[in-house]
Structure 1
Amino acid sequence: MSLLDDLLKKGSLHTPCGTMAKRAALKAKLTNSGATEVVSGDLKLSEGDDRVLEASRVVVKGNLVLEDQSRLLVAGDLEVEGSIIHEGFDYALLFTGGALSAKNLLFHGELVSLGPITVQEVAWTYYNDYSTYADALKARIVVADDRFDAVDDVRADHRLDGHSSVIGPELAKLLRADVVSQDGSWSYEDVAKRLLRKRPLLR
């Protein structure tokens, strides 16, 4: 049984991945197959779908979509040419043993990357049920709506942390009017639908 299979047995990865030192120790033990896997379109994990990919590099040519109660663990790097989307109110897990990259990120569940996270446009996590664990995150806009993310180094043109009622007005200046209204309100379901259709968020 692989280390990733062992991680699947855990209800949360907070304990093994909650600090930089713990992530480094885990990464030192992690192995991969050395292969590259390419998904030609979207990759969608339905409810109850637990998937372990032992490849050193996984490339998703479309969007990566996780439904509630789904888990994806990748031993190496994960490159998503579209957006990473988990819109829901229950647990989901995305774990990468290497670097993680995408055009946009919208995530409610638990997100763990043992390498840096690079998002071209908007990295948006929300609600404090779960957290993000990574050494570094880089994006044009980083949004943490009512959520504490344990990321040691965050680099962004704009970083918004706090309750939606506080960050909403500033976010409305950065994103399109049909994403965030002038009064700073939005629907995560609508944001997810927009990303699924590959429509932009930024003004």
Structure 2
Amino acid sequence: MGKRDEDKLLGIIALILAILALTISWIPIVNNFGGILAVIGIVLGGLSLFVNRSRQKIFASISTILSVIALVIVLVTQSLYGASIDKFTKSIAKTTDSSFSLSSSKRSDKFKWTNDDYNSLTVGDKTTGVGGANYEDIISKYGNPTSVTETQSDDRTVRKAMWSHKTSDEEQSVELTFVMQQDGSYSLSKKDASIDKNWDF
């Protein structure tokens, strides 16, 4: 004698919930609701299996299996999405840190002056620059200046070079004046520097 027909009510409800849970189990955030539906589907499917323990269990079995699959998919996708978000966040943080370090390094590379460097500069004659430090020697040691201007005064060519470094709370700058010599070189005739909390010129 075959088994009696299945009591389908709980199985059909569980199956509907399982299908809904499967449908939205791939969608971020929304799949949280899908997880709840899957759990309810498992509970109802289990009850349907219990009620139909001596009967056919087609709807009960299918709904329970689909609900379990939906719940597994929800858990897996949430784990993957969470890992992706963490990776993206760490990537942004790393990029930000790298950018900060790089720009800090660039600033320090561009501005190599110290108080001792400035004080050790030899200033020549104020008018002719004779005896002063050589412009090319300074360039080779401290790098190219931030800005350079040249003016013609009487029969002299005067070059002003400035090395500067600015941040939100401080400014450092060295401004040097050179006079062209007969051989085309430039010699230091005057020096100026900004005074801030870190420097004591």
Length-normalised TM-score, structure 1: 0.20
Bigger-Rg structure (1/2): 2
Question: Whose strand proportion is higher, 1 or 2?
Answer: 1
Taking CA–CA contacts closer than 8 Å with sequence separation of 6 or more, which of the two structures ends up with the larger relative contact order?
2
Q: Identify the structure with the greater helix proportion.
A: 2
Taking structure 2 as the reference length, the TM-score comes to 0.21
